[in-house]
Structure formats: C-alpha cells, structure tokens
C-alpha cells in the first residue's frame, strides 16, 4: 500500500487547519509538520515524494487536533524563536513575542557602548520568563552579564535551561524575587516586560492567550499599571549613574507610564514603536545613585 508523502502531509495538514477556521493555517501546518518530521522548507520542494513514517503521521495528527482545540502552535512545539534564538517554553512562561524585540534592539547599542567604556555591563531583567530579553541581550553584547528575576520557579528553571542551551549560563543568573524584594546592588540597565493587561480585560483576550499564557505574566492589576509603579519607585536605588530603565508597555499606556516614571524623578530618553506602529517601549535615564 502506498504511504503518505511529505507533500501530501503538508497539504492535508494545511487543509485540516483551514477547514477548522485556524488563522494562519498554512504557516502553523508547515511549522508542525517540519518539526515532527524533521524536514525543512527546502526539502518540501526538493523531496516532496519522501515517505513519512506511520508514527510521525500519528504525531502530526495529534498536534493538529491540539491546534484545532485552540492551543497555540508554539505551545505545541514547546519552543519559540525570539531575536533569532530558540527559547523553550513551560507552563508558567509567556511565549516571547516579536513586539518585545523592539526593546532588545533599542538596548543593544547602549549596552555595547557601556560595555566598551567600562569593560562590563550589568543588566537586571525583571519578570524574565523564558529569559528572552536578558539572554537576547547577552547574545548580542558579549561583555554584559544579567540577573533574571521572576516570581515563578518554573519560569526561572526554564530561563536557566535556555541560558545553558544558548551557551550563556556563565553570564546569566536566575533569582526568585517579588520584583526588587530580593535584589541588592546596582545595574547599568534595568529592563522589563511586566504584566500590563488590566485585570478586567483578561477575559476578553483571544483564547490562545487567555488559556495558555500564564495569568501572572498578563495581569497588571486593576488599571494594568501595578508593576510600572513598583519599577519606577524602586529602580533609582538599583541603577548605576548614567544607566537606563527600559520597559515594554501596552499600546495605549504611553502617557500613563511616562507620568509614573517622570513622577519618580526619571527623565524620558526615548519612546519607540513596534514593527506594527504601536507604542511599545519607553526608556528613561536619571534617578541613579549619586
């Protein structure tokens, strides 16, 4: 009996997801098939008649069922690319998003300059999750070291594993802390993508986000700004003179978060939009130790 070829499997997977109304069906089908069969996009073109093992067909079938039931494709894969690096995910980590690359891109030249000038550059990443921001910065700035803080042990285990996988563990430490509670010392940069969704809004999020990203990574309190207040209040004590605080924000929060930081004595350095044109990153200076 003739088996199923790679081309047929890709076609069937795509059709099954699009028939189920999955947005981005072709992309998700390709990611799942490639991951499970260990094939590449170019092999789909150069070797379309390759026969696929029965156990791989079963695995693709199960993955498609999970996708159709609402699980995001990267949760099924167990990893997601961020800033060109692969990050493992776990139950209590947010999937790193492309929007957050805006913060990394903005920080790299500033941190590289500090690293050149001082020979080292220390980074505090508050709410590190998978370690995405801290580890992407370490990969781009060889003289930097980072402390990744999270309230979730599961996230810290995942961040430490990602650091090992990326060969960055010598320059990365993971610490359990409620924001600054367990932190001592000063840093050249404090970065954070904190939870910033208003509590009442969580129910209205897409089910892929609401059901699969951890609540602690999303819920920013009644007005979504709880974490910014803490970061603005506490950062000055932990920032080296001439250092930077950079935070990701929700697209409607620029004015409110700016007010919080200016009210805490910081100066605005820059405000950046993400690739889709939404306000996404605010960077502040000042407030450092005398």
Ligand X SMILES: C[S@@+](CC[C@H](N)C(=O)[O-])C[C@H]1O[C@@H](n2cnc3c(N)ncnc32)[C@H](O)[C@@H]1O
Q: Per the annotation, where are the binding residues? A: 127-131, 150, 179, 193-196
Sorted by sequence, the CB contacts under 8 Å of residue 58 that are 6+ apart come out as none
Distance of alpha carbon 290 from alpha carbon 282, whole angstroms: 23
CA torsion angle 88 92 97 102 (round to 10): -100
Backbone angles phi and psi of 285, in degrees to 5: -130, 175
Select the residue interacting with ligand X from 155, 156, 249, 282 (CB under 6 A): 155
Q: Does 287 bind ligand X (CB under 6 A)?
A: no
Residue 174 beta carbon to ligand X: minimum distance, rounded to whole angstroms: 11
Residue ranges of the annotated binding site for substrate are 193-196
Tell me which residues in 181-210 interact with ligand X (CB under 6 A): 193-195
Question: Is 33 or 247 the residue whose CB approaches ligand X more closely?
Answer: 247
Using rule CB under 6 A, residue 129 touches ligand X: yes
In the region spanning residues 70 to 89, those forming contacts with ligand X, defined by CB under 6 A, are none
**Contact at 8 Å (CB) between 4 and 52?**
yes
Best CA proximity match to 90, nearest among 103, 75, 102, 101: 75
Is residue 102 near ligand X by the rule CB under 6 A?
no
Instruction: State which residue, 39 or 162, has the beta carbon closest to ligand X.
Output: 162
Closest to ligand X by CB, 133 vs 147, is 133
Q: Which two tokens stand for residue 246?
A: 């950079």
Could you give the count of Cα atoms lying within 13 Å of 142 in the half-sphere of its Cβ?
Answer: 1
Least spacing, CB of residue 87 vs ligand X, in Å = 8
Q: How many CB atoms lie within 10 A of CB 198?
A: 17
The residue ranges that bind ligand X (CB under 6 A) are: 94, 96, 100, 127-130, 132-133, 149-152, 155, 178-179, 193-195, 216-217
């Amino acid at each position: 009996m003739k088996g199923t070829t790679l081309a047929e499997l890709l076609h069937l997977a795509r059709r099954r997801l699009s028939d189920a109304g999955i947005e981005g069906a072709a992309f998700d089908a390709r990611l799942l098939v490639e991951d499970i069969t260990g094939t590449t996009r170019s092999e789909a073109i150069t070797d379309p008649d390759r026969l696929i093992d029965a156990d791989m067909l079963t695995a693709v079938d199960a993955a498609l069922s999970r996708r159709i039931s609402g699980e995001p494709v990267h949760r099924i894969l167990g990893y997601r690319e961020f800033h060109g690096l692969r990050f493992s995910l776990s139950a209590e980590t947010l999937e790193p998003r492309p929007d957050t690359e805006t913060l990394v891109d903005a920080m790299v030249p500033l941190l590289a300059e500090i690293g050149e000038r001082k020979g080292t550059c220390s980074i505090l990443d508050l709410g590190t999750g998978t370690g995405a921001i801290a580890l992407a910065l370490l990969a781009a700035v060889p003289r930097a070291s980072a402390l990744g803080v999270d309230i979730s042990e599961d996230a810290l285990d995942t961040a430490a594993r990602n650091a090992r996988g990326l060969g960055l563990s010598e320059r990365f430490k993971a610490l359990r802390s409620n924001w600054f509670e367990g932190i001592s010392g000063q840093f050249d940069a404090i970065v954070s993508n904190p939870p910033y969704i208003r509590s009442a809004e969580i129910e209205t999020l897409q089910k892929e986000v609401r059901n699969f990203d951890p609540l602690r990574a999303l819920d920013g309190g009644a007005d979504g700004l709880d974490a910014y207040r803490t970061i603005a209040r506490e950062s000055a004590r932990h920032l080296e003179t001439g250092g930077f605080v950079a935070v990701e924000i929700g697209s409607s929060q620029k004015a409110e978060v700016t007010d919080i930081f200016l009210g805490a004595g910081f100066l605005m350095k820059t405000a950046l939009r993400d690739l889709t044109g939404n306000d996404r990153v605010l960077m502040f200076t000042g407030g450092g130790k005398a």
